[in-house]
Amino acid sequence: MNIMNSLTWKHMKANKKRTIVTILGVIISVAMITAVSTAALTFTTYLQNIQIQRGGAWHVKYVDVTKQQGNKIIDELDEKFSFYTQVKGYSKWNDTSKVVKPYIYVEAYDSTAFDKLPVTLLDGRFPEKAGEIIVSKEISNNKEESYKIGDSISMEYGKRFAMVEGEQKEFKQDVEFHGDTFPVEEQETWKSTGEKETYTIVGIIESDEWFAMPGRRAITFLDDNTVANSDTLTVNVFMNKVSNDLYNQTMSAGKAAGVDEGQLVFQDDLLRLHGVSKFEDTYNKMIQICTTILILIIMVGSIALIYNSFAISINERSKQFGMLSSIGATKEQKRNAVLFEGVVTGAISIPLGIIAGFVGMWTTFTLLGPILENAMGINVGIKVVVSSESIIAAVIFSVITIFISAYLPARKAAKITPIDAIRQSRDITVHAKQVKTSRLTQRLLGVEGDLAVKNLKRNRKHYRALVFSLMISLILFISVGSYVYYLKESVMFAMGDDSYDVVVWNIDKEEEDTVSELLKELPNVTEGNAVIKLSEWLMMDKEQSQSLITEEGKEALEENWSENNSDFEFYCSLSFITDDEYERIVGKKNSGSDGIHAILINQQVRQRGYSLTDIEPLRANVNDKIRIEDYEIQLDLITKERPLGVGFGTIGGDVSFVLPLSALSEFEQFDTEAMYNYYLNTNDAENIEDDIVDEFLRGGIQSNYTIYNQAVEIIRNNQITTVFSVFAYGFITLISLICIANLFNTISTSFALRRREFAMLKSIGMTPEVFRRMIRMESLMYGIKACIFGLPISIAMTFWIKKAVSYNFDKYYAFPYMTYIIGILAVFGVVGIAMLYSSRKIRKENIVDGLKTEIN
């Protein structure tokens, strides 16, 4: 170690507090850079694993190729693993006309496929040899013919055909059943291939077919050793390395084997997560842009801290550099001395920062992993992914940050001349006019306030650096806080207007009573309501609608409304609930002999740009009669309180009427189109779907129903918001720590350099109380200035975020006041603590010792 580096090392040890603060700041910076790159890689890998769980472990598959072609393709590709699957065909199993799944769709998997494709085994085991099969739970629990493990099941395979645009085409599993609901010429036929098999059931699996798929799922074993070279099958390939050349590689391999491009199927959702796409890769662009922005923000905050630390060091060592220059030290030696301080700081901070970043991410994902898994709705564990690329990137960005921070002060150190250093006047270039204050300032703030203002004007560089640090912290905190606030508000608005937890859609009329009884038996259902909503909107009498519609209703329909326009149309939606529920709400018996009765839900949502509010569209009274199409409906109740499962009028659209179920027969032309929907509230949202499915299987329900669990969706959305909040506030906290470290560093050094000034003020009679008031005034100046610049930007960011992700209610002006209050208090609190901490020693110092201090 040469003499210059030795002196630098001694200086760093002599100023331990500032050195430690600088090293801690750099550690936080490096840890954040490491954490950002690690989090991006970990989350992308997690999404890849989720997609593999949902879609299977394959990047490309070659459909309907011979085994000989498949073997040639595998030889051509650099594949990590591959496996075969084969479609056996459709076997009839249920001829009931109302069932849209009249087939069993049988596939054959080899031993690898069972491990790599999404097959959820509920009971039993996977097939291990020919003659064994696993079937979906719907087949096992079929009310007409149920099966259990160990039973035999016979299959006769066939294919589906129908006329499409005058040409007969074969239907695959992705085409719905074309039964008697389709025109005669489009109805499908099943043609046997002549192949018959009898299997032993060895396992029951979860059904994962879409509701429109015509075949229930069953899988048998495929022994590729017994498959002839001419037999047709599907080759699934998982590539060893995924790159942008994947599409060309796989197509070339297929072409070499005599396979058409149309026989290749790519799992684009998985490839996109690898950064490979035939189309615009918006996901990876978003990840890259967000990662780059975060790293740049970290670098800016870190450079401000480290630069400030080195600049302070240069100011303290300026006399030393001048003396060294006078005995022959060159500019290069002085510059290298400062850079050496950066090297030492980096050598200590970068390894510790990288370790801290990985440990922080591991801790975060370990704690948030279960929440994230539940929010994503799939049982895939999240593990921190560490790559050499992320470590190298963190080191490179950290070295650049430290180099930029140290190089600028190093250039300044190289230019210090012996005369400037001895005079200690290089940084004192202010003139009287620059620190002059007005008489109003002196009267309002007093002597201590006037001194505080003068000091801020005299130390503009330090003052601006501190204000900038505080401003950045304030803007980031308020922006993230506003985003989280409006994100939660948007989720609640999107899902909170419907009062139900779970809905079961599309129950056939023939099974309505059975379903109602089955749902009542569920112990976790606290409330339920059957609702039928006509598929068509009905038009209110034009003349009557013009007299009933309110001014608010006219404005909501202003695009179509015209008092002189006879074509104006006002539509209504009709929902039907059970007679008992209707009578309970109305509070009286509905005889049904004196016409059609209804409840008017006199509520509609009106939208203006991003603003939503409730309006009353109609001016009506109880017992009024309203003509809708050819029907006259008497109003029993006018309310905004909706029965369970009944929605209000849509934006600028219909008005809702609720009728008793007995009145449905009056609307004969719509009765055949009606489907029953059941809306439920539950105290066990997590398990209610499984309970409903099990109950329906036990009861043999054949309706093509769909279950939507809104309660779980709300929980998952809130959990995703929570995970986002943790990462966002964690990021803001660490950025703020860098800014706070910078703040403490600068203020404490500033106070140390002002020891003579404070001693001089005390020597001419400044009391401890006046001194404290002056310090408090300086703190207020820093905080006020940061708020003056930071709050307008924060408010602009808040409104931009509100416009982007949330709605603004006319009836309730939602503004995140608490976020602003916390942010402002934090600014003044941090500045105040830093000032009190830094002035603690100055207050106790002897005046004579202070006057002897050599300062700039």
- pLDDT, one tens digit per residue, over 165-184 is 778 888 888 787 787 767 77
**pTM for this predicted structure:** 0.68
708-765 confidence digits (pLDDT tens): 888 887 777 777 777 777 777 777 777 777 777 767 776 776 676 677 777 777 777 7
User: What pLDDT score does 237 carry?
Assistant: 93
Type and span of the H or E element at 644: none
What are the tokens at 52? 């593999």
Give the confidence band of 652 by pLDDT, cuts at 50, 70, 90: very low
Q: What is the DSSP letter of 86?
A: E
Instruction: Report the distance separating Cα 135 and Cα 580, nearest Å.
Output: 42
Please state, rounded to an integer, the average pLDDT across all residues of the chain.
78
User: What pLDDT score does 546 carry?
Assistant: 73
Q: Say yes or no to pLDDT of 445 above 80.
A: no
Residue owning tokens 């998982």: 238
Q: How far is residue 546 CA from its own chain's centroid?
A: 46
Residue type, 675: M
User: What pLDDT score does 683 carry?
Assistant: 85
Give the confidence band of 127 by pLDDT, cuts at 50, 70, 90: very high
User: What pLDDT score does 126 carry?
Assistant: 94
Number of Cβ within 10 Å of residue 299's Cβ equals: 19
User: What pLDDT score does 234 carry?
Assistant: 92
User: What pLDDT score does 543 carry?
Assistant: 74
Mean of the pLDDT values across residues 431-455? 65
> To the nearest 5 percent, what fractions of the chain are helix, strand and coil?
55, 20, 25
Q: Say yes or no to pLDDT of 62 above 90.
A: yes
The residue count for the chain: 856
All residues at 6 or more sequence positions from 353 whose CB lies less than 8 Å from its CB, including other chains: 26, 27, 28, 29, 30, 31, 33, 34, 394, 398
Q: Calculate what percentage of the chain has a pLDDT beyond 70.
A: 76
371-408 confidence digits (pLDDT tens): 777 777 677 788 888 888 878 888 888 888 788 877 87
Instruction: Report the distance separating Cα 265 and Cα 422, nearest Å.
Output: 77
What are the tokens at 284? 């990876």
Q: What is the signed CA dihedral for 779, 785, 787, 791, rounded to 10 degrees?
A: -170
Give the confidence band of 110 by pLDDT, cuts at 50, 70, 90: very high
What are the tokens at 616? 């009353």
User: What pLDDT score does 211 carry?
Assistant: 58
Mean of the pLDDT values across residues 562-581? 68
Q: What is the DSSP letter of 803?
A: H
Instruction: Report the distance separating Cα 513 and Cα 848, nearest Å.
Output: 97
> Cβ(539)–Cβ(570) under 8 Å?
yes
Q: Say yes or no to pLDDT of 601 above 70.
A: yes
What are the tokens at 239? 């590539």
Query: Residue 520 half-sphere exposure, CB side, CA atoms within 13 Å?
Result: 8
Mean of the pLDDT values across residues 592-607? 74
Nearest alpha-carbon partner for 699 in 95, 99, 141: 141
What are the tokens at 661? 């179920």
Residue owning tokens 């002599």: 14
Number of Cβ within 10 Å of residue 798's Cβ equals: 22
All residues at 6 or more sequence positions from 267 whose CB lies less than 8 Å from its CB, including other chains: 51, 55, 56, 58, 59, 60, 61
User: What pLDDT score does 564 carry?
Assistant: 46
Mean of the pLDDT values across residues 425-438? 57
User: What pLDDT score does 212 carry?
Assistant: 64
Q: Say yes or no to pLDDT of 856 above 50.
A: no
CA separation, residue 433 to residues 153, 205, 437 (Å) = 100, 85, 9
753-807 confidence digits (pLDDT tens): 677 777 777 777 777 777 777 777 878 888 888 899 989 988 888 887 776 665 4
Type and span of the H or E element at 225: none
Ramachandran class of 73: left when φ > 0, alpha when ψ lies in -120 to 50, beta otherwise: alpha
Instruction: Report the distance separating Cα 109 and Cα 83, nearest Å.
Output: 8
Residue owning tokens 């404005």: 555
User: What pLDDT score does 814 carry?
Assistant: 64
What are the tokens at 849? 């010792």
288-302 confidence digits (pLDDT tens): 666 676 677 667 766
Q: Say yes or no to pLDDT of 132 above 90.
A: yes
Give the confidence band of 99 by pLDDT, cuts at 50, 70, 90: low
Mean of the pLDDT values across residues 270-286? 70
Q: Calculate what percentage of the chain has a pLDDT beyond 90.
A: 9
Give the confidence band of 125 by pLDDT, cuts at 50, 70, 90: very high
Q: Say yes or no to pLDDT of 85 above 90.
A: yes
CA separation, residue 643 to residues 505, 584, 658 (Å) = 17, 11, 8
Q: Say yes or no to pLDDT of 562 above 60.
A: no
User: What pLDDT score does 199 carry?
Assistant: 93
Give the confidence band of 200 by pLDDT, cuts at 50, 70, 90: very high
All residues at 6 or more sequence positions from 437 whose CB lies less than 8 Å from its CB, including other chains: 450, 453, 454, 457
Residue type, 38: T
Q: Which residues, listed in sequence order, are joined to residue 156 by a DSSP beta bridge?
A: 196
425-432 contacts at long range (C-beta below 8 A, 24 or more positions apart)? 425/856, 426/318, 426/856, 427/315, 427/856, 428/856, 430/457, 430/458
Type and span of the H or E element at 634: strand 631-639
What are the tokens at 33? 């850079």
Number of Cβ within 10 Å of residue 316's Cβ equals: 18
Mean of the pLDDT values across residues 419-442? 60
Nearest alpha-carbon partner for 252 in 510, 60, 504: 60
Instruction: Report the distance separating Cα 140 and Cα 201, nearest Å.
Output: 10
Q: What is the signed CA dihedral for 60, 66, 68, 70, rounded to 10 degrees?
A: 10
Residue owning tokens 């001829």: 95
Q: Say yes or no to pLDDT of 460 above 90.
A: no
Type and span of the H or E element at 808: strand 808-809
Number of Cβ within 10 Å of residue 328's Cβ equals: 7
Residue type, 178: H
All residues at 6 or more sequence positions from 452 whose CB lies less than 8 Å from its CB, including other chains: 445, 774, 777, 778, 781
Instruction: Report the distance separating Cα 254 and Cα 90, nearest Å.
Output: 28
Q: Say yes or no to pLDDT of 438 above 70.
A: no
User: What pLDDT score does 276 carry?
Assistant: 81
What are the tokens at 368? 């948030």
User: What pLDDT score does 113 carry?
Assistant: 92
User: What pLDDT score does 84 carry?
Assistant: 93
Q: What is the DSSP letter of 100?
A: S
**What backbone phi and psi angles, to 5 degrees, belong to 370?**
-60, -40
Does residue 101 sit in helix, strand or coil? coil
Burial (CB count within 10 angstroms: exposed 0-12, middle 13-18, buried 19+), residue 838: buried
Mean of the pLDDT values across residues 235-245? 88
All residues at 6 or more sequence positions from 393 whose CB lies less than 8 Å from its CB, including other chains: 33, 37
Give the confidence band of 112 by pLDDT, cuts at 50, 70, 90: very high
User: What pLDDT score does 812 carry?
Assistant: 45
Give the residue, 541 or 631, on which the prediction is more confident.
631
Mean of the pLDDT values across residues 673-692? 81
512-529 confidence digits (pLDDT tens): 888 888 888 888 888 888
Give the confidence band of 144 by pLDDT, cuts at 50, 70, 90: low
Does residue 257 sit in helix, strand or coil? coil
Mean of the pLDDT values across residues 187-192? 88
Instruction: Report the distance separating Cα 15 and Cα 387, nearest Å.
Output: 37
Mean of the pLDDT values across residues 553-570? 55
